[in-house]
Structure 1
Amino acid sequence: MIAKRRRSGGELVAVDVQDLPGHLIRLAQQLHKRMWLNDVSVEITSPQYGILNAILAEPGIDQKTAGEEVGIDKSTVGDVVYRLVQRGLVLTFRDPSDQRRNVLHLSRSGRQVVSDLGPKVVQMNRRLIAGLGKNDQTSLVRLLEALLDSAPADD
């Protein structure tokens, strides 16, 4: 689908979507997803791996904080954690100091999945940007971080 805009005379003019950052980001996300499925896992999604990795980095992290660390919204993180619990990869416990809060730990199987996938994730991400020179790779990551840091808050 090509976006349209009106000239001052009312005539529609096609917008070159290849110049639109959002379009390019969507294509890059599709590339990432294809590479993830081919190189990393068809069973564990990138967001699921992110949550597993957050738990590995901070055992006992709560669900809300894990979601924030990975950039998953509050409503979605519950579903992601639920699926990981159902698969036996994550264990949940009530926080003894706050019974309303669940804390997360990796099961033995969860630790194995993170161990198995970690090198694949690193390698896939290296391949993702391998066509760029080292300076461009660094710039890409820096610019994406700046874009996300400067994004307007959700309404």
Structure 2
Amino acid sequence: MAKTATLKRPAKTAPKPAPKPAPKSAVKAAAKSAKTNYVLDDQIGFILRQVWQRHTMIFARDIGSNLTPTQWAAMSKLVETGPCSQNQLGRFTAMDVATIKGVIDRLTARGLTETSADPQDGRRLLVSLTRAGQQLAEKTAPLALAISKETLAPLDAKERETLLSLLSRLR
């Protein structure tokens, strides 16, 4: 008969007591310190939102209310990529499924995009620009470049390059 090894179990030790909660005065002091250290105007999200608001104001002024920055993003990406699935387009433009669907529905209703069966996968639909969509994109592209230039106008060339490089790293 073969001998079996017996495992030694470590001796049971008493459970460690839970740490005592900090006194209420310490919690209040920490909260007060946090209040004084957090300045909304210095927060990246707040600054980005203000810059985005300025950019969209310039966009609306120069392009008008018939095309939103989100719709323009979808159209300009279709110019770059050619036909692609709605899902791909959403990924390319950093839009969630519901947002890209709404954007494409509105552009299609205006006759700027259309869908067709993917010749390689009949279950999949491809989104593409119509002739009217292509013409609008050609007309809008120079305006969009000017809008980006105006948004960045307070910065010199080196600052613009640095800002765009740093923001790209945060994606």
TM-score tier, shorter chain, comes to 0.7 to 0.9
Partner residue in 2 for 1:97? 120
TM-score by length of 2: 0.77
What are the equivalent positions in structure 2 for 1:133-144 lying under 5 Å apart?
A: 133-144=156-167
SS class of match (1:42): coil
Q: How many residues align?
A: 143
Q: Secondary structure at the match of 1:75?
A: helix
Partner of 1:52: 75
CA contact (8 A) 1:40 1:124 kept: no
Paired with 2:156 and 2:57, the residues of 1 have a C-alpha distance of: 22
- What is the CA–CA distance in structure 1 between the aligned matches of 2:28 and 2:56, rounded to whole Å? 37
Q: 1:131 aligns with which of 154, 158, 161?
A: 154
Instruction: Tell which structure's C-alpha radius of gyration is larger.
Output: 2
User: Aligned residue for 1:121?
Assistant: 144
**1:1-155 pair list within 5 angstroms:** 8=29, 11=32, 13-14=35-36, 15-148=38-171
Deviation (angstroms), 1:121: 0.2
Contact 1:39 1:120 (8 Å CA) reproduced: yes
Unaligned runs of 5+ in 1: 1-5, 149-155
Cα separation, 2, equivalents of 1:10 and 1:90: 52
Distance 2:160 2:52 in 1: 16
How many angstroms apart in 2 are the aligned matches of 1:53 and 1:11?
Answer: 48
CA–CA distance in structure 2, aligned partners of residues 10 and 134 of structure 1: 42
Looking at structure 2, the residues matched to 59 and 9 of structure 1 have their Cα atoms a distance apart, in angstroms, of: 55
- Measured in 1, the distance between the counterparts of 2:63 and 2:159 equals 24
> What CA distance in whole angstroms lies between the structure 2 residues aligned with 1:112 and 1:137?
30
Letter in 2 for 1:128: T
Aligned AA (1:64): N
Identity across the alignment (%): 24
For structure 2, which runs of at least 5 residues remain unmatched after alignment?
A: 1-26
RMSD: 1.7
Match of 2:21 in 1: none
1:36 and 1:46 in contact (8 A); partners too = yes
Call closer, same or farther: CA 1:17–1:72 in 2, change over 3 Å.
same
Q: Counterpart amino acid of 2:81?
A: E
Q: CA deviation at 1:68?
A: 1.3
Question: What's the CA shift for 1:11?
Answer: 4.2
TM-score (norm 1): 0.85
